Amino acid sequence: MIRSAITISTVPESVGGPFVYHGDLETGIAAAAETGFDGVEIFPTHANDIDGFLLRGWLQKHSIQLAAMGTGAGWLTRKLRLTDPDPLVRAAGRDFIGGIVDFAGGFGAPAIIGSMQGRYGDGVTRDQALDWLRAELNQLGPRAHAHGVPLLYEPLNRYETNLFNTLSEAADFLETLNTRNVKLLADLFHMNVEEVDLAESIRKAGHTIGHVHFADSNRRAIGFGHTAAKPIAQALMDVGYGGFVSGEIFPWPDPQTAAEKTLESFRASFRR
Ligand code: LER
Ligand code: MN
User: How do residues 73-98 score in pLDDT, each as one tens digit?
Assistant: 999 999 999 999 999 999 999 999 99
8 A C-beta contact, residue 192 and residue 159: no
Tell me how far apart the alpha carbons of residues 104 and 111 are, in angstroms, rounded to a whole number.
6
pLDDT in tens, 181-200: 999 999 999 999 999 999 99
Q: For residues 264 and 130, what is the distance between their CA atoms, to the nearest angstrom?
A: 39
Q: Nearest residue CA, atom 7 of ligand 1?
A: 115
CA of 127 to the centre of ligand 2 (A): 24
Single pTM value for the model: 0.98
Q: pLDDT tens digits for 139-195?
A: 999 999 999 999 999 999 999 999 999 999 999 999 999 999 999 999 999 999 999
Q: How many helices (H) and strands (E) does the chain have?
A: 10, 9
Angle at 221 between CA 267 and CA 100, to 5 degrees: 95
Is the backbone peptide bond immediately before 253 cis, with ω within 30 degrees of 0? yes
> Cα separation of 63 and 77, whole Å?
31
Distance CA 237, CA 258 (A): 24
Q: Are strands 182-187 and 3-9 parallel, antiparallel or unpaired?
A: unpaired
Per DSSP, helices labelled H in 48-166 are 52-61, 73-78, 87-105, 126-145
CB of 74 closer than 6 angstroms to any ligand 1 atom: no
pLDDT at position 272 over 90 = no
Q: Can you give the residue range of the structural domain that contains 252? A: 3-270
> Following CA atoms 162, 168, 171, 176 in sequence, which dihedral angle do they give, to the nearest 10 degrees?
-80
**Closest ligand 1 atom to 189 CA:** 4
SS3 state of residue 172 = helix
Closest CA to 29 of 1, 45, 50, 2: 50
Mean pLDDT of all residues in 258-265: 98
Whether 114 lines ligand 1, by a CB cut-off of 6 Å, is yes
Domain containing residue 116: CATH number = 3.20.20.150
pLDDT digits (tens, 9 = 90+) for 12-68: 999 999 999 999 999 999 999 999 999 999 999 999 999 999 999 999 999 999 999
- The rounded distance, in Å, linking the Cα atoms of 272 and 270 is 6
DSSP 237: H
H helical segments located in the chain? 25-35, 52-61, 73-78, 87-105, 126-145, 167-175, 188-194, 198-205, 229-238, 255-270
- Note the ligand closest to the C-alpha atom of 72: 1
Q: What is the pLDDT of residues 230-255, one digit of tens each?
A: 999 999 999 999 999 999 999 999 99
User: What is the average pLDDT score of the chain?
Assistant: 98
pLDDT at 56: 98
Between the CA of 123 and the centroid of ligand 2 the distance, in Å, is 27
Total domains in the chain come to: 1
Which residue's alpha carbon is nearest to atom 2 within ligand 1? 114
The whole-number pLDDT of residue 271 equals 82
